[in-house]
Amino acid sequence: MAEETLQSIKTKLWAMANELRGNMDASEYKNYILAFMFYRYLSEHQEQYLVKNKVLDIPEGDSVNTAYRDAASGDDLTDYLEDISTTLGYAIAPEDTWASLTEKINNSEVIPSDYQTIFDHFNKNATLNSDAAQDFRGVFNDINLGDSRLGSSTNERAKSLNRIVGLVAEVEYKSEDGKDILGSIYEYLISQFAATAGKKGGEFYTPHEVSQILAKIVTKDVKTSDETFTVYDPTCGSGSLLLTVQDELPGGNKPGAIKFYGQELNTTTYNLARMNLMMHGVSFNNMTLSNADTLESDWPDGMDASGTDHPRSFDAVVANPPYSAHWDNNPGKIKDPRFGEYGKLAPKTKADYAFVLHSLYHLNSTGTMAIVLPHGVLFRGGAEEAIRKTLINKNYLDAVIGLPANLFFGVSIPTIILVFKKNKQTKDILFIEASKEFSKGKNQNTLTAENIDKIMDTYKERQDIERYAHVAGVDEVKKNEYNLNIPRYVDTFEEEQPVDVDKLVADISATDKKISSLQDEINAIMEELTASDPVAQQQLSKIRRMLR
C-alpha cells in the first residue's frame, strides 16, 4: 500500500473519530476507540489462530465465527477457551467475538448491557492462563460505559458505542499486499490524541522523532540479534518508546528477538501500553509490564538460585519521565540500593535524578541508557550537584545532547538527553548543542530526518564540531565545578559583522537627499492640484504647518 494511501486512511479515521467524540475530551475519548480497535484485533487474531492451527472444521460456506459458535457449544466451550488461552494468553467466547458483536449491531439486537457482559467475560477468561493473566486482565477497565457524555440514557449510550464499533469496523487492517498496517494506524491515533490532549498528551506519548534518537543511541553498538535483547522503560507511557527501540534494533522485528519491560503509574496509560505493544505483534511472552510507582518499591527484580533477591538488569534503558516531579524522598530511602550509593536523595520537588538513578541501577554492565530531562539537572546545586559529581567521577555519563524547545506535547521548554554507560573506555563527555536545528511548526516543533542524522553522526564520530559539539575531558568538567550547562562547552556565539561607519554615513546622506527630492515632487503635484481651489490651498497650508 502506497504511503499516501495509508495516510489517507489515517486522516479519514481521525476525522471520523473527531466527529463522533462530540464534547468528550480527546484524552478520554481515546479510551473508547483505541480499546475497541484492540478488541477487534484480539478477536480476529484468535480467528486466524483457529484457522491456521485447524482447531476448527469449517464447512464450506461457513465463516470462522459460525463454525466456532457451532463447535464451541455446551461442555466443549471450556475446553476450547482453555486451548486458545494456552497459546494466545487470552480467549474470547463465540458470543463475544467481534463478528458476533457487529452482527448484533447490524440486526439491531444489541442491548445496553451487552458491552459490559463482553468485557466481564473477557476478564474472566483472562484468568485461564496464569502466565498471561497480568497482560490481559483488566485491559478494558478504562472504558466508562456509564459516561453521560455518551448519552443521557442507557439506550443512547449503547447507540454511541455502536457508532464507535461501526467506525472501527470500517478500518482496513491489511494493505493490498497483505501487510499488517494496524500498528501504524494505532500509533498514528495515539499521537493525534496526544496532540489534541495538550499537557495530558505529554503524559502518555513521546514524539516519534525524540524516540528515534533514544532508540538509535541505545542500539548503536548492537550488530546482530543472535541473542535476545532486553529493554526497559521505567515510565513507559503508551509503550511507543519501547516499540521504537524494536524498530531500530537489527532484526528487532523477528519473534523473540527483543523482550520488553516497562512500568507505568497511570492505570489508563498502562492499559494503553499493553494494547499498543500487542497491536504491534508483541506476544505476551515477550513483554512484562507493571502498573505501579517506579520510585517506590523497586521493580523489576529477580531471584537467584539461592532465593536471594537481586535487581534485574537490561541491555538498554530508555526513559522520558515527568519533569521535576514531586516524590517521597523520606530519609529511609537512602538505604534503598538504587539511591544510597550516591549519598544524597533527589529533592522532594525535583525527582529527575531519582529517575536517573533508578534507571541506571537496572542497566547492565555493557548496556546503554538514554533519558530525556529538563536542563536544570545540568547545573542545579545541593543534592543534585552531589549526585551529578558522583555520576561523573564514576565515569558513567557518556553524552549530553541539547534538544529544541516545544518538541513535547504540553511542554514548551527545551530539554536534554543524557546518555549513560557503565563500561566507558574513555574519560570524557560529549556535548551536542542541537537545540537550534529543527522544523518550526504552528503549535509544535519537530526534528527532521536530517536533524536526527546529524545528532547521530556526531554521537558516533565523537569529535569537536564548531558551534555544535565538543568532547570535554574530566579535568575540563571539574574546572567548571561539575556544571554541565551546554554553553560552557559549546560556544554558539557568532560575532556580528563590523560596521563600516563611513559607508553608513554616506548611505544616510543619500537617503536624506532622496527623501528631499521626493518631497519636492510631492509639493509640486499638490500645488498643481490645488491651484484653482482656495479651500484646498488653505488645507494644504495647514498640513504643511503641522508637518514643520
Question: CB under 8 Å to 25, separation ≥6 — which residues?
Answer: 197
Residue 543 lies in a domain: yes
186 and 207 share a domain? Answer: no
Residue 496 lies in a domain: no
453 and 355 share a domain? Answer: yes
204 and 176 share a domain? Answer: no
Mean pLDDT, rounded, for 425-452: 93
Is the pLDDT reported for residue 315 higher than 90? yes
Residue 415 lies in a domain: yes
What CA–CA distances, in Å, run from 251 to 72, 219, 246, 435? Answer: 39, 11, 8, 32
- The CATH number assigned to the domain holding 316 equals 3.40.50.150
- Lookup result for grid cell 566507558: 424
Q: Using pLDDT thresholds of 50, 70 and 90, give the confidence band for residue 19.
A: confident
Calpha distance 499→501 (Å, rounded): 6
pLDDT for 1: 46
Write out the three cell numbers for 27.
484524552
Is the pLDDT reported for residue 486 higher than 90? yes
Residue 493 lies in a domain: no
Longest dimension (CA), the chain: 114
pLDDT digits (tens, 9 = 90+) for 221-262: 988 767 899 999 999 999 999 999 999 999 998 888 999 999
The per-residue pLDDT of the chain, averaged, comes to 88
pLDDT digits (tens, 9 = 90+) for 64-74: 988 888 887 76
Cα 280 versus chain centre, distance: 15
Residue 221 lies in a domain: yes
pLDDT for 544: 64
pTM summary value: 0.85
pLDDT for 543: 66
Task: Write out the residue range of the structural domain in which residue 532 sits.
Answer: 501-547
468 and 433 share a domain? Answer: yes
pLDDT digits (tens, 9 = 90+) for 406-427: 998 777 889 999 999 999 999 9
Three-state DSSP class for 449? helix
110 and 143 share a domain? Answer: yes
- Which DSSP letter does residue 481 get? T
174 and 286 share a domain? Answer: no
More confident residue, 102 or 184: 102
325 and 446 share a domain? Answer: yes
Residue 494 lies in a domain: no
Calpha distance 371→388 (Å, rounded): 15
Residue 516 lies in a domain: yes
Cα 275 versus chain centre, distance: 14
| Overall domain count for the chain | 3
183 and 241 share a domain? Answer: no
Is the pLDDT reported for residue 166 higher than 60? yes
221 and 344 share a domain? Answer: yes
242 and 191 share a domain? Answer: no
Domain endpoint, select from 173, 196, 219? 196
Residue 132 lies in a domain: yes
Is the pLDDT reported for residue 304 higher than 60? no
What CA–CA distances, in Å, run from 361 to 76, 169, 330, 364? Answer: 49, 45, 19, 8
Is residue 447 within 8 Å of residue 438, measured between CB atoms?
A: yes
What CA–CA distances, in Å, run from 70 to 66, 92, 256? Answer: 6, 14, 35
Q: Which of 210, 261, 202 is nearest to 236 (CA)?
A: 261
pLDDT for 413: 87
74 and 144 share a domain? Answer: yes
Is the pLDDT reported for residue 186 higher than 70? yes
Domain endpoint, select from 164, 181, 196? 196
Give me the sheet containing 287-290, strands edge to edge: 287-290, 258-263, 229-233, 314-319, 363-374, 415-421, 397-402, 428-433, 469-473
Domain endpoint, select from 146, 177, 196? 196
- The CATH number assigned to the domain holding 111 equals 1.20.1260.30
Is the pLDDT reported for residue 477 higher than 50? yes
211 and 308 share a domain? Answer: yes
Is residue 353 within 8 Å of residue 384, measured between CB atoms?
A: yes
